[in-house]
Amino acid sequence: MTRRLIDSGSTFEAQAAYSRAVVDGDWIFVSGTTGFDYASMTIADDLVAQTEQCFRNIEGALAQAGATLADVVRVTYIVPDAASFPQCWPVLRSHFGDVRPAATMLSAGLADPRMKIEIEVTARRRSGPND
């Protein structure tokens, strides 16, 4: 098995020396992912819109690793304002309603005050190419 790094093209990855995701065998570790649209390096003001963008970014990283959201076994949500977290629940259900990974929510400051949520996932491919 080999270790493979996945890059989203975000300037943050090069600046802070990390990968969007690391594939190690059937395991995929997706870094904390925010609501930035990496193609335009823009971010919406709205928490729900940022949450949807987080999932688009995570889905992109998982696809590069040969996996989908259905392969996610663990998720961590980080929000600066814990009271706002329930606003995200419909989005979480739309992506993880049937998957229901083990989950943790933390309230903490994020690197940029525009960020309203950060999501980190761990996935395990059930089938697919071996790395």
In a domain, 23, yes or no: yes
- What pLDDT is recorded for position 4? 92
The pair of structure tokens assigned to 21 is 């995701």
Question: Is 70 part of a structural domain of the chain?
Answer: yes
pLDDT at 131 over 50: no
CATH of the domain at 101: 3.30.1330.40
User: Does 115 fall in a domain?
Assistant: yes
Q: What's the whole-model pTM score?
A: 0.91
Residue 130 lies in a domain: no
For residue 44, what pLDDT is reported? Answer: 97
pLDDT surpassing 90 at residue 86: yes
Residues of the chain with pLDDT > 70, as a percent, come to 95
**Does residue 86 form part of some domain?**
yes
In a domain, 131, yes or no: no
Show the beta-strand stretches assigned E in the chain.
Answer: 3-6, 21-24, 27-34, 36-37, 42-43, 72-79, 102-107, 118-124
Residue of 12, 15, 18 lying closest to 35 (CA atoms): 12
Instruction: Quote the number of domains for the chain.
Output: 1
Give the residue numbers spanning the domain of 85. 3-124
Q: Check whether 10 has a pLDDT greater than 80.
A: no
Domain annotation covers residue 73:
yes
Element (H, E) at 50: helix 47-64
- What residues have CB less than 8 Å from 87, skipping those under 6 apart? 47, 48
103 is a domain residue: yes
Closest CA to 91 of 37, 55, 44, 60: 55
